[in-house]
Structure 1
Amino acid sequence: MYKYTKRKNIITINLFFQYTAYIAFFYKKKKKKLSRKYKMGDNEYEHEVRKMIVVGEKYCYNEEIELTVHKKSMFRQGDGFIVYDPNGDIIFRVDLYSPMKPLGLVLMDTFGKPLLTLLHKRPTLHHRLEGFLGETSDGQQSILSIWKSMMIGQSKMMVELYHESSPDVPIEYQIEGSYNERSCTIFRMQHDTSSVHVAQIKRKVEPTRNMVLSRDVFSLIVQPGVDAAFVMGLVLALDKIDGDDVALAPSGG
């Protein structure tokens, strides 16, 4: 009887520790989804990553992520894009544009589901694109507007995002630098006129040979909590407004 009771207690204790370990693992995993670690001196801290969801929460990462963007040129320049995550898996793609919507750009996920559609806004004094969630339909409200601002000595891409977190006024972004050189930075503008760096486009370097690849393959670095699908939509708009096709297009007359 004593041996049986002792064995039963041991089993109970083992089950308790297994359950405690499982709870600790689950809590740690859940907490990891909501926070990221950073170091200050010899100490390590955690803070919550604030997510700015535009297209989908799954595209808001807890850590900085570097995506590889491949601009396809199958039949003519600008036929589409393929975007890879750090593991080499396709995360976004833009296929050949539909003949029914020759001016439209559709960002899709791996399986071809439309995530974001960009269309020209007409009439307008600026070369302006408007963005819509998923596929566009009559009467659908745009969620963003992007255009090129020409000022003396400089030009910037301006973005207005209509988001539920700021229902009264649009959230403003600026894109500075040269997209043609694959060197530009995306900033979110603050109310106090300061700005926050949210993403960067730069030339892709092949690490084993330390060789800079062609402009058709470049890096898109997205900061933690920023919607990578939204940022990729801005890249598509950049390519349409200020890309290689625009530079090479013959002038009218």
Structure 2
Amino acid sequence: MAPVVSKIFCSLHQTMLIIRKRPLVVNGGGFVVTNYTQRVLFTVDGCGTLGAEGQLLLRDGHGEPILFIRKKGGIVQALSVQNQWRGYLMDYEGVGNSVFSLREPKSYLTKNCKIKVSVEPKGKNSWEFEVQGSFAERACTIKDRRGNVVAQMGVQREIDAMASKDVYHVVVQPGYDQAFVVGIIAVLDNINGESTRC
């Protein structure tokens, strides 16, 4: 599998990411992603920090911005049956090229629809990944077009005695881009009105 954000975020081994929501009053909300040794791998800032609805910023463990995610707006988007999000690489000059887009069905029109994610630039297929299940219940899976599991979310009380919807884990399969997976999780968090949303 080719990386979406960067090959430095891909591992040869299955990786468990532990996600902890930050309170809105502390650092403007968002969440922190660690490994099992509590080393910070990523942080996600939302509206509380950025001050704008529909904008998210993914940083690496050193605090360097790596992915800017924005919800598409405008009159065309308002009339569409889907909300669209785009993820852009960050570089020393600021926001760079688009690397993925996510299409979210508007819930009042469709129920139980799967969320489609496309990698940019688009190839022959209109989508490459799909989110299935319920983010709100911390029971969802990201699969590729062939049906292979990319990442699976859950809450395991054996791992963390304080496991709840504020602390959960995502298991990323070998070879897949962890920054890309966390970017999708950030959008799902915002869609569900959680820590990245004001």
Q: Scaled by the length of structure 1, what TM-score is found?
A: 0.65
Which has the bigger relative contact order, CA under 8 A and spacing at least 6?
2
Q: Which residue of 1 aligns with 2:181?
A: 231
Find the structure with the greater CA-based Rg.
Answer: 1
Residue 117 of structure 1, aligned match among 64, 68, 74: 68
Output the CA distance in 2 between the equivalents of 1:107 and 1:94.
5
Offset of residue 106 of structure 1: 0.5
Residue 219 of structure 1, aligned match among 148, 151, 169: 169
Q: Which residue of 1 aligns with 2:143?
A: 187
Aligned residues: 187
Q: Which residue of 2 aligns with 1:201?
A: 153
Output the CA distance in 1 between the equivalents of 2:150 and 2:175.
9
Offset of residue 214 of structure 1: 1.5
Conserved in 2, the CA contact under 8 Å of 1:97 and 1:104?
A: no
Conserved in 2, the CA contact under 8 Å of 1:116 and 1:233?
A: yes
**Residues 206 and 103 (structure 1 numbering): CA distance in 2 closer, same or farther, change over 3 Å?**
same
Offset of residue 170 of structure 1: 5.0
Q: Deviations over 1:60-90 (max 9, x none)?
A: 11111111000111428x8111110122210
1:1-253 equivalences in 2 (<5 Å): 51-75=1-25, 79-95=29-45, 96-99=48-51, 101-123=52-74, 124=77, 125=80, 126-134=82-90, 137=95, 140-149=96-105, 154-162=112-120, 167-190=123-146, 195-207=147-159, 211=161, 213-244=163-194
The secondary structure found in structure 1 opposite 2:185 is: helix
Name the amino acid aligned to 1:157: I
Conserved in 1, the CA contact under 8 Å of 2:117 and 2:130?
A: yes
Conserved in 1, the CA contact under 8 Å of 2:21 and 2:195?
A: no
Task: Find runs of 4+ consecutive structure 1 residues off by over 6 angstroms.
Answer: none
Output the CA distance in 2 between the equivalents of 1:91 and 1:66.
11
* Alignment gaps of 5+ in structure 1: 1-50
Q: Scaled by the length of structure 2, what TM-score is found?
A: 0.82
Name the amino acid aligned to 1:236: A
Conserved in 2, the CA contact under 8 Å of 1:97 and 1:105?
A: no
Name the amino acid aligned to 1:66: M
Q: Deviations over 1:185-230 (max 9, x none)?
A: 001113xxxx1111011114244xx856110100010000000000
Conserved in 2, the CA contact under 8 Å of 1:179 and 1:243?
A: no
Output the CA distance in 2 between the equivalents of 1:180 and 1:197.
19
The secondary structure found in structure 2 opposite 1:143 is: strand
Name the amino acid aligned to 2:65: P
CA RMSD of aligned residues (A): 2.8
